[in-house]
Amino acid sequence: MPESKVAKGTRLAHHLLLRIGRELRTARIVAGLTLRQAASAIGSSASEVSRIERGLAPWVDLPTLCRLSAVVGLDLWVRTYPGGEPVRDAAHLALFETFRSIVGPGLRIRAEVPIGDPRDQRAWDATIEDVAGIGCGIELDTRLIDAQDQLRRVMRKRRDSGIDRVLLVFADTRANRVALRAAMGLISAEFSLDDHAIRAALASGTIPPRNGVLLLPLEARHRRGGVRDKGQTGRRHRTQRARSPADVS
């Protein structure tokens, strides 16, 4: 059975606490400090510092580790790295279903597709492939927050997977339209914003000729906070045409 995201995080936390503890103990001994001296410097007890050094204090907080590191002559740095795909929420799953509904029968669609290298934990949210074997990676995001970072991650994933095309699919919300308008210059260099051409290609069972961006509607209950656009009725929301990225102004 595959390891869950939470189990992976718990395992990694245990590993890091063990490693940090060993490094703290080695540095303390080299500095000629006793457990009591190190503990006194940070306002703790010798027994607590001993547990930290042995990786047996899962409750220890980051400020305490930083202070203890400084006392023994170390600097503690923390940084995150890409480590596989995140857990998806209901809005993300709803966006996938909306996208799937506009894909024609001539395209094969798969969800959560690894990029290829079994050592790489990254995956496409979905892929589509036509009868000629041309593939397209689909990245679904309910929010466009940092366009430069999101584009960089997607293009790196495309490079490493060798896939032919990429489609970025965002929820059609006011916040995303504003963000897309602000990033228009950056996005248009790599991605087509011709919503109608992209949708026509997908409906006809063909892969769009360029990378592209789509805005697709979400039901109000799947929006952040469940807030629908002002003046938008439930019936209109369910039946309206998705707004084109080119219409964001």
- What one-letter code names the amino acid at 154? V
Q: Report yes or no: 170 and 213 within 8 Å, Cβ to Cβ.
A: yes
User: Could you tell me if 214 and 146 lie in one domain?
Assistant: yes
114 and 168 housed in the same domain: yes
| Same domain, yes or no: 128 and 238 | yes
My answer on whether 124 and 219 are in the same domain is: yes
Rounded to an integer, what distance in angstroms lies between the CA atom of residue 105 and that of residue 96?
Answer: 16
Q: What is the domain range of residue 139?
A: 90-247
The pLDDT profile of the chain, 249 residues, written as one tens digit per residue, is 566 778 878 888 899 999 999 999 999 999 999 999 999 999 999 999 999 999 999 999 999 999 999 999 999 988 776 555 555 567 888 899 999 999 999 899 998 888 877 777 788 999 999 988 999 999 998 888 888 888 888 999 899 999 999 999 999 999 999 998 898 888 888 898 888 999 999 999 999 999 999 999 876 554 544 433 333 334 444 444 445 555 554
CATH of the domain at 25: 1.10.260.40
Are residues 169 and 224 both part of a single domain?
A: yes
Any idea what the CATH number is for the domain that residue 207 is in?
Answer: 3.40.1350
Q: What is the DSSP letter of 47?
A: H
CA 215/CA 99 separation, integer angstroms: 10
Residue where a domain terminates, one of 25, 44, 71: 71
**Model-level pTM?**
0.60
Q: Per the domain annotation, does 166 fall within a domain?
A: yes
Number of separate domains in the chain = 2
53 shares its domain with 122: no
The residue among 71, 100, 120 that closes a domain is 71
